Copies of this chain bind each other. A is one copy, B any other.
Amino acid sequence: MEKLSIVKIGGNIIEDNASLKAFLKLFANLKGKKILVHGGGKRATHVAAKLGIESKMVNGRRITDAETLEVITMVYGGLVNKNIVAQLQSLQVDAIGLTGADINSIASEKRPVKEVDFGFVGDVKKVAHKSIDKLIQADFTPVFCAITHDGKGQLLNTNADTITSQVAVGMSELYETSIYYCFELDGVLRDIKDKKSVIKHIDVTLYKELLEQGIIADGMLPKLENCFDALNQGVKTINMGNTSMLTQENDNFTRITL
């Protein structure tokens, strides 16, 4: 099976032009077939504030009302996505910017209202791996923003980490897939206070040990759970660390496998 890399970047990189430029160079140099997924970060919050739209939070989670969805569509789907595509083109990467509505690539379902009505938030239902592969086979590099659709004309705000893992799972039918989650830390830390305590390899056995020992920090727990879900659904390797893990020189990051 041919290899395919799915790289995810978050707000910390997108919000800083120098960081974004540096990252895009690394991404452009990454060999082989690849997909980029980006979150949005605080830019949408800034634009919303300027437009006089209040960010509504419930239990620390953002509520996506109709106005907020418009801002997200403008900022993630337009401003951020198309500028990344233009910059990648200047680096000779034949990028194509996508939401899940484009080529019906990621269909989702509006999250059912239980205790909280999250508004226009979508949970991924189906990744059209064959349609996405048509783009890859045409030598295009898909760049996904964190927006999906319900197939009935409604765009939906969707978590970028989830899009990344679901796209990777879908593409695993056709490729040997690796995920690269780029984030602020160098990797998963054994001691949250010691930035140098990167665990270089986590497999199921170590994961269970770390869980039992209570070593994994709260914020990292759901991330790792999602990782093992994706690995169990066919993803080959998941890497977590800073952007330099995309180069050959840095081996100081966390590799997660079954």
The stretch from A147-155, A202-210, A230-238 touching chain B is A147-155
A87 to B101, CA, bound (A): 9
CB neighbours (8 Å) of A152 from chain B are 90
**Separation in Å of the A43 CB from the closest CB of chain B?**
10
Find out whether the CB atom of A151 lies under 8 angstroms from the CB atom of B78: no
The residue of chain B having its C-beta at the shortest distance from the C-beta of A105 within the complex is: B96
Q: Does residue A85 face the partner (Cβ distance < 8 Å to B)? A: yes
Find out whether the CB atom of B50 lies under 8 angstroms from the CB atom of A86: no
The proximity string for A residues 184-212 relative to B, scoring 1 for CB distances below 8 Å and 0 otherwise, is 00000000000000000000000000000
- A99 contacts which of B75, B82, B134, B138 (Cβ < 8 Å)? B82
Residue of A73, A82, A83, A153 most packed against chain B (CB within 10 A): A82
A101 to B91, CA, bound (A): 12
Q: Does residue A252 face the partner (Cβ distance < 8 Å to B)? A: no
CB neighbours (8 Å) of A87 from chain B are 153
Q: Does residue A95 face the partner (Cβ distance < 8 Å to B)? A: yes
A104 to B88, CA, bound (A): 10
**Separation in Å of the A191 CB from the closest CB of chain B?**
41
Find out whether the CB atom of B78 lies under 8 angstroms from the CB atom of A76: yes
Q: Does residue A173 face the partner (Cβ distance < 8 Å to B)? A: no
A50 to B47, CA, bound (A): 10
Query: Which residues, 96 to 111 on A, are CB-close (under 8 Å) to B?
Result: 96-99, 101-104
Q: Does residue A60 face the partner (Cβ distance < 8 Å to B)? A: no
**Separation in Å of the A38 CB from the closest CB of chain B?**
13
CB neighbours (8 Å) of A217 from chain B are none
Q: Does residue A77 face the partner (Cβ distance < 8 Å to B)? A: yes
CB neighbours (8 Å) of A104 from chain B are 89, 94
Find out whether the CB atom of B82 lies under 8 angstroms from the CB atom of A155: yes
Residue of A70, A74, A83 most packed against chain B (CB within 10 A): A74
The proximity string for A residues 113-140 relative to B, scoring 1 for CB distances below 8 Å and 0 otherwise, is 0000000000000000001001100101
Which residues of A approach B to under 8 Å, CB–CB? 47, 50-52, 70, 73-79, 81-83, 85-87, 89-90, 94-99, 101-104, 131, 134-135, 138, 140, 147, 149, 151-155
9 chain-A/chain-B pairs, Cβ below 8 angstroms: A50-B52, A51-B51, A73-B79, A78-B81, A85-B102, A89-B151, A95-B102, A95-B103, A134-B140
